[in-house]
A = this chain, B = another copy of it.
Amino acid sequence: MNGRRITRAERAQIAMMLEVCAFPKPGNVDRCHDYPETRLEHFLASAILARPAFEKAEHSEGSLGELILDAVESTSVHSGGNTHFGAYILLIPLIVGRDIPGACRVVAETTVNDAVLFYKAFGKTRVRVLANDELDVNDPAAVAELERRQMTLYDVMLYSARNDMVAREWINGFTLTRRGADLLHSYGGGCGAVVGSFIDLLSTEPDTFIMKKHGQDTAWEIMKKAREVRDGVRDISKFDQECIDAGINPGSIADIIIASLYIALGEGWAWDC
Contact = CB atoms under 8 A, between A and B. Distances in A.
6 contacts: A1-B78, A1-B79, A4-B74, A6-B49, A32-B32, A78-B271
Given A40-B31, A44-B21, A191-B41, A272 B79 contact: yes
Interface in A256-273: 271-273
Contacts of A73: 2, 4
A10 to B, nearest CB: 6
A71 to B, nearest CB: 12
Interface string A35-54: 00001111011011101000
Interface in A45-80: 45, 47-49, 51, 73-74, 76-80
Contacts of A49: 6, 10
Interface of A: 1-2, 4, 6, 10, 13-14, 17-18, 21, 31-32, 39-42, 44-45, 47-49, 51, 73-74, 76-80, 124, 191, 271-273
A41 B18 contact: yes
Contacts of A31: 31-32, 40
